[in-house]
């Protein structure tokens, strides 16, 4: 997988098996909940998201998204243990995703624990953050009216017991 950042092509390592399992479970959950919706929203994986200020220089590829009409509305990133060590790059990517037309929620799903950070666009244009965690926690995607239990997203892995193999 590749992304374009400030005109430079950035290669990413292949996702780990746990990363892939989280994405597969997330995708299945999103498709199930979006099936039959009348708002024109659909789940996508590995689709591009281009910040409006950098339309030719930067193209981000989130792990998954919910697109409603022409624009992404919710983007998802699975954060591996190695990405935790590179917080500046992760923060930059989040800022780029916040600048994409239509994005109202950014969800960072932590690969090695039952935890998510949800960044939400507020009415005044600022971004609020909510942290949720624990196997019994529920991810509320307000912009599309969906709820996802973390246990469903992490169904096929065991956070905290996983090996340190990651992206």
Q: Which one has a higher pLDDT value, 91 or 52?
A: 91
With 60 as the cut, is the pLDDT of residue 163 above it? no
Whether residue 164 is predicted with pLDDT greater than 50 in this model: the reply is no
Q: How confident is the model at residue 86 (pLDDT cuts 50, 70, 90)?
A: low
pLDDT at 56: 65
pLDDT at 72 over 90: yes
* Among the ranges given (28-32, 41-45, 83-87), the one the predictor scored with the smallest mean pLDDT: 83-87
**What's the average model confidence in pLDDT over 52-79?**
84
Predicted TM-score (pTM) of the model is: 0.86
Q: How far apart are CA 104 and CA 49, in angstroms?
A: 13
Q: For residue 140, what are its two tokens?
A: 């509320």
Range with the largest mean pLDDT of 19-23, 43-47, 54-58, 92-96:
19-23
Task: Output the DSSP codes for 100-164.
Answer: STT--EEEEEETTTTEEEEEEE-TTS-EEEEEEESTT-EEEETTTTEEEEHHHHTTT--TTTS-S
Judged against a pLDDT cut of 50, whether residue 110 lies above it is answered with yes
CB count within 10 Å of CB 127 equals 15
38: which residues sit within 8 A by CB, 6+ positions away?
none
Retrieve residue 70's tokens: 């022409």
Residue 166 pLDDT greater than 60, yes or no: no
Average pLDDT of the chain to the nearest whole number = 86
Higher pLDDT, 15 or 96: 96
């Amino acid at each position: 997988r590749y992304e374009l950042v400030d005109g430079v092509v950035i290669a990413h390592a292949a996702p780990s098996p746990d990363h892939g399992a989280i994405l597969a479970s997330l995708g299945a959950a999103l498709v199930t909940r979006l099936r039959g919706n009348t708002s024109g929203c659909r789940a996508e994986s590995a689709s591009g998201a281009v910040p409006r200020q950098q339309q030719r220089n930067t193209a981000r590829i989130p792990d998954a998204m919910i697109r409603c009409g022409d624009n992404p509305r919710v983007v998802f990133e699975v954060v591996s243990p190695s990405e935790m060590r590179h917080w500046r790059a992760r923060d930059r990517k989040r800022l780029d995703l916040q600048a994409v037309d239509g994005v109202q929620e950014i969800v960072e799903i932590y690969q090695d624990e039952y935890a998510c950070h949800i960044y939400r666009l507020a009415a005044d244009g600022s971004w609020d953050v909510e942290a949720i965690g624990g196997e019994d926690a529920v991810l509320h995607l307000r912009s599309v009216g969906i709820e996802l239990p973390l246990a469903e997203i992490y169904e096929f892995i065991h956070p905290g017991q996983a090996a340190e193999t990651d992206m």
